[in-house]
Chains A and B, each alone.
Chain A
């Protein structure tokens, strides 16, 4: 049987991704692994000839584009930030979140003034593209995490980051002033694998898509 490698992201999408694979019957022996060591890539036992690899979210498209993995699960936010030559096949529905610009609650009115804003973000390209459509100038501060702290210590005026419930924004006294994008988890596929491993891969895509649609 043709071997398939599937890569799933660490972090907030991991549990839903593993649950989806389990429901689809592709992950059998991994019942005990609810939260694999967060910071380390690892390989989980999958169905016959299926290997599941866990990687950093931003690395998932690279694994898939280069063919190290045939299929991947990754947030749309990652796909929007950097262009990759891969097929985005299915919207899996889970992991819903939004990318928003937020300013400290007391400074939210600066959004309407049009002065230069310093925005801290893990998504410098999406942010730059968004501000190209805005009348106000921007200076982007690219960070790798803990973006919401940046306004509190004077590193930036505001942030562009993912929001799920809004609790983090509220806890840091930030107010949303604009929505930049909406994101959910996507199933992505390597260009060559879609063709060279079609007989093995197509049923997997169908099953995962069906389970995702049913699972809500």
Chain B
């Protein structure tokens, strides 16, 4: 499951260009897999590290459903939802990122998964912090 979801996200990584990627960003928190009692059975929330981008901190959370095949061994994971927990909002540009870029990236994440694609070809654009944070969520728990 871990690999499957990582593959989906790394796929999405392919279409993401950066706002302004701070390569020396420091991780402020460690990721946590939350029990999330409010979620239906088989679903869980995976929260990523805070990624400090040039525009400010970004943190995302995935809601993941685990499907266990007969026999209980092989598992498959599906990303049901992507939540942005923290995003920059200080400037007008930040607001545009929140209103335009994040919803778009979330939709693309889910689309990429359902279409079983390996990469996305499209006119280049941005996203650093989102990608970094999302990937850290996956690295840490998905």
Do these two chains really belong together in a complex? no
Instruction: Using CB atoms and an 8 Å cutoff, list the residues of chain B in contact with chain A.
Output: none
